[in-house]
Structures are given as structure tokens and as C-alpha cells.
Amino acid sequence: MIALLQRVSTAQVSVGGETIGAIGHGLLGCVGVVRDDDRAQADRLLQRVLDYRVFADAQDRMNLSLRQAGGGLLLVPQFTLAADTDRGNRASFSHACAPEQAAALFEYLLAQAAAAHAPLAAGRFGAHMQVSLVNDGPVTFWLESQNAAVHP
């Protein structure tokens, strides 16, 4: 699994003009599911998201995780993160997980995140979403679980 993780001052996701999830200070994680991902990969990715040190400590160094600093977590499914862009002018999605399995893994990730962290908000799998954010820093990281090598 892949997460494009952004430290935000605020972020929200809307579907059809209706806000379905919003956070203030915290992390926005756009999540991609690649072929052969499983629940162990989702667990590993969530642990990395919650423990990745992206918030400033008293010395203004990025030494604090979301668990330590507090704040919201907004998870948004984004299959385009699994794109293979090595050749040509159009992405290939041959590395992406099948939609039914990807949806189930994203829902599993959300359930695990809800048990581990609050506040939590989420996008809707398969929906056309509008995501707005104020990237704080800007601070953006690409995280992968061990199975997520998009380019073997």
C-alpha cells in the first residue's frame, strides 16, 4: 500500500458539493492499493502513518508523530498512486489492485484507523471527490508498506 502523506493546517473531501470529511491540523493521507496487498500491508501502512515524525518538537525539528502531536487524520482513496508512469504519455494501472479488493482493504484500513486514532475522517472509495487542503510547510512524504513496490 502507498500513502502520499501531507501535514496540513486544514483539509476536507467533498462528493457532489457535500463535505463528507474534514480535519483541522493533522495529516492527509491519499491511499493507493497495489496488486497483492493484504491486511498485513494495511496494518503496516497505518502504523507508519501514525508514527511517522512530521510535526515540530520544542526545537522546531520534525520529531513528533501524529500520535504525539495530536490532530486529525483524513484518509482518501486514490488509485492513481499505483500508476506506472515509466513509459509513454499515459499511465498504466497494471500494478493497481482490483477495485473490489482495493475497496475492502481501504475499508479495513479505515476500521483499524478508527480504533487507533481520533479524530478520523475519510473519502469515499470509487467516488469522484474534490480534496482541498492547506499543506503546512509544505511537508509531503511518500510512504509505502513493504509490498508496495509499484515498479518491481
User: Active-site residues: which are they?
Assistant: 78-80
- Long-range pairs of 55-63 with CB within 8 A, sequence gap ≥ 24: 55/7, 62/139
> CA 143 to CA 141: how far, in whole Å?
6
According to DSSP, the β-strands at 129-144 and 2-15 are antiparallel
Place of cell 508512469: 85
Q: Are 123 and 131 in contact (CB under 8 A)?
A: yes
